[in-house]
Chains A and B, each alone.
Chain A
Amino acid sequence: MGIYFDHAATTPMSQPAIAALNEQISQLGNASSLHTQGRSVRKRVEEARENLARIAGSGPSEFIFTGSGTEANNLAIKGFYWKRIRENSERNLIIISAFEHHAVLDPVEWLESHEGAHVIQVPVSSVGVIDLEALKEIVESNRSRIALIAIMHSNNEVGTIQPIREVVDIAGDIPVHTDAVQSFGKVDFNFDELGVTSATISGHKVGGPLGVAALILQRGIDITPILHGGGQERDIRSGTLNAPAIVSFSAAASAADHDRDVSYREVRELRAYLIESLRNRIPDIQVNGDVLPALPGIANITFPGTESDGLLLLLDAEGIASSTGSACSAGVPQASHVLLAMGISERDARSSLRFSLSRSNTREEIDHLASVIETVVDRARAAHLRH
């Protein structure tokens, strides 16, 4: 069995989530149908919605289920953009942070290249926190032109949590969307208390199944839909509800929420142990975005003089899963835009790996990583020199 340090990519389904999925998947019925079978499925979906809403600190009617976090982010960004520009044709400006996930960055770039949107990126500090002063200036000098502001709740590559409450204060009546995919179920996330207009959460990051996520959207706000059809989910996201996945997502969220504080502490300790173990072997490592508040389990580490794809290959060969920034559509490794936005050099960005931990990881696994890291780094350094 391999050692899995890539829980931010996806994490194993929890037992309650598997049980719920197995049970619901054998139930007949379309939640939109009016007959007995339909009502029975509908009931389970609505119970799940209420449970998820309670955990997320929102109202049940604010939950719009989608097929992925990417879909929820696209819906929020395009939906708000089209709604706001229809209300006022001056509002074509989108404000995002410079290190958003591609599921936010790419729809925004698409609006820029296809729909005439203008985009301003809020800079981030060297430790991975957005510059609130810069945001304030941007908002104050462009207020009437801004369609929406989208700032992630926590960064998926370095784990830093962003000051969303302050963003909302600065925004005033401008809609604020936050991608909370990495935060939900792991750290404090309360939709009402944050005051954001919309937020994205996703099932498979908290031990639920793949293929289910949600856009939490304040009641009374109707954004322009992307999918048109049967009128499900407040007519904002048509499509037959994926009842088994929704019910399972809810069970996973309950389990994650129940253990959240213990889990946070344990994972945070594992992370500290991992960094210490690596630093003992490779003294010149740098930990990127190493500040609080943060997600408990993400350690983004630069191994100077290496290339991350060489590191990843060698660790994979040792049975250890980690991750590099991202790859282009052809699979060519790219320097992480997140690290570049934090002012890290292209060279260091290309020498960085993300380890993301969960409670299922052990100190023994970290010891194994530490026992092979010197050879791996030596080889990756040699390969980099010859490359």
Chain B
Amino acid sequence: MKVIAAMSGGVDSAVAAARAVEAGHEVVGVHLALSSNPQKYRSGARGCCTIEDSHDARRAADVIGIPFYIWDMAEEFHDGVVENFLSEYAAGRTPNPCLRCNEKIKFAAVLDRARALGFDAVVTGHYAQMRETELGRTMHRAEDPLKDQSYVLAVLNKDQLDGAVFPLGDTHKEEVRKEAKRRGLYVANKPDSHDICFVPSGNNAGWLHDRLGTETGPIVDEDGVKLGEHQGAYTYTIGQRRGLNLTVPAEGGAPRYVLKIEPKSNTVVVGSHEALAVSAIEGEKAIWCGPIPTTATEFRGFAQVRAHGSPLACTYSTDGNSISVTLNEPLFGLATGQGLVIYDGDRVVGSATINATA
């Protein structure tokens, strides 16, 4: 195949590109410039959009012996990921920008462009496995449970996954580092990236404050009694316990948690841990990574609602566009806007955006 290897400048994508070459593919390395002003984004080894990172990616491509180009995706990234991140927070939801980036940039804008230029697929350093099964080509969890990224890839539909190659899914991260070293890739010991690449300081709340402004609002209990104030409801997350600065202590001193964020009235509702319990989850805008499950039928499976969350045993059903989940055991604290991913064993069935919980 002719493939584009998306190279962030990190160790995973470098090894993925090298493996694609070894597998006999014709590989062209591409680094995505996600900011029109690269200095604005996080510097050093932690992020994925700096000048140093583009140099690291270029050097890795040299070592591997493949052509290398930089593609300007700043506009697409700003419109599809950064703006979405802000508007979701402003609407009281908790978005995952990595999901959006995979959905709108890496396996949409980049894959489309690659296909138009005559390439067959995009290779990335994501940890997930594509397998040929009786259900066709399906996506499965990675071998390394600590690095498994199938959750953030579950926003890809069948067509996008047909244009995706993940050479690292069968390997543990430590092996990948050793392999990078063996291959003479300078990035072998580069630290993993964390947090959100376009928030330079890692200070999410401060970054949101700068962009969404500060607006004082009440923190209330479930009966509407005011317990304190906040500087912007969007900086809170459902289930959050710390940093509430409540002036009125709870009866019996029990800790209180964020239960609800109401963006219109700029109100944060807090309450007991029990009140956070969620047993039913509704997701909208379903995306199927393989065959669409029979509608109006109950299946047993697992739901995952955070990138590094545990799989939760559940039953689920769908009408094709939305997914309804009933958890076997309640979950405490779940924000709307997060991604709901359904697994059948280690196979990714599909995903949806959480729009209601009960």
Contact = CB atoms under 8 A, between A and B. Distances in A.
Interface of A: 309-310, 312-314, 316-317, 327, 329-333, 379-380, 382-383, 385-387
B313 interface: no
Contact of B28 (A317, A327, A379, A382): A317
Nearest to B2: A317
A330 B67 contact: no
Contacts of B138: none
- Point out which of B51, B54, B69, B112 has the most chain A C-beta atoms below 10 A from its C-beta: B69
Given A314-B118, A317-B28, A331-B54, A383 B69 contact: no
Contacts of B69: 309, 312-313
Interface of chain A, main secondary structure: helix
A317 B38 contact: no
Nearest to B35: A330
Interface of B: 28, 31, 33, 36, 38, 50-51, 54, 58, 67, 69-72, 74, 109, 112-113, 115-118
A78 B221 CA distance: 67
Contacts of A385: 116
B51 A383 contact: no
A332 B117 contact: no
Contact of A332 (B28, B50, B72): B72
Contacts of A313: 28, 67, 69, 117
Contacts of B112: 383, 386-387
A383 B117 contact: yes
Contacts of A383: 112-113, 116-117
Most buried by B among A314, A317, A330, A382: A330
A330 to B, nearest CB: 4
Nearest to A385: B116
Given A310-B117, A331-B33, A383-B113, A316 B71 contact: no
Given A386-B112, A387-B109, A329 B70 contact: no
Please provide the 10 A-B residue pairs with the shortest distance between their CB atoms, ordered closest to farther: A383-B116, A382-B116, A331-B70, A386-B112, A332-B33, A330-B38, A330-B51, A383-B113, A383-B117, A332-B72
A196 to B, nearest CB: 37
20 contacts: A309-B70, A310-B113, A313-B28, A314-B117, A314-B118, A317-B28, A329-B38, A329-B51, A330-B51, A331-B54, A332-B36, A332-B38, A379-B118, A380-B117, A383-B116, A386-B109, A386-B113, A386-B115, A387-B109, A387-B112
Given A313-B28, A387-B109, A332 B116 contact: no
A327 to B, nearest CB: 7
Contacts of B38: 329-330, 332
Nearest to A312: B69
B118 A330 contact: no
B51 to A, nearest CB: 5
A382 B113 CA distance: 8
Contacts of A314: 117-118
Given A317-B28, A386-B113, A387-B109, A333 B72 contact: yes
A316 B67 contact: yes
Which one of A380, A382, A385 has the greatest number of beta carbons of chain B within 10 Å? A382
Given A380-B117, A383-B113, 6 more contacts: A317-B28, A331-B31, A331-B54, A331-B70, A333-B72, A387-B109
B10 to A, nearest CB: 16
A332 B70 CA distance: 6
A349 to B, nearest CB: 14
Nearest to B69: A313
Nearest to A386: B112
Nearest to A383: B116
Nearest to B58: A331
A317 B67 contact: yes
A316 B51 CA distance: 24
B117 A379 contact: yes
Contacts of A317: 28, 67
Contacts of A329: 38, 51
Contacts of A309: 69-72
A387 B113 CA distance: 6
Contacts of A387: 109, 112-113
A330 B117 contact: no
B315 to A, nearest CB: 40
A330 B28 contact: no
A329 to B, nearest CB: 6
A380 B116 CA distance: 7
Nearest to A327: B70
A386 B115 CA distance: 10
Nearest to B68: A331
Contacts of B67: 313, 316-317
Contacts of B36: 332
Interface centre among B51, B58, B117 (most CB of A within 10 A): B117
A314 B70 CA distance: 14
A313 B119 CA distance: 12
- The CB with the most chain A CB atoms within 10 A, among B38, B67, B113, B115, is that of B113
Contacts of B117: 310, 313-314, 379-380, 382-383
B162 to A, nearest CB: 17
A317 to B, nearest CB: 7
A313 B67 CA distance: 9
Contacts of A386: 109, 112-113, 115-116
Interface-centre pick from A329, A332, A380, A382 (highest chain B CB count, 10 A): A332
Contacts of A382: 116-117
A379 B116 contact: yes
A158 B67 CA distance: 26
A193 to B, nearest CB: 44
A99 B38 CA distance: 25
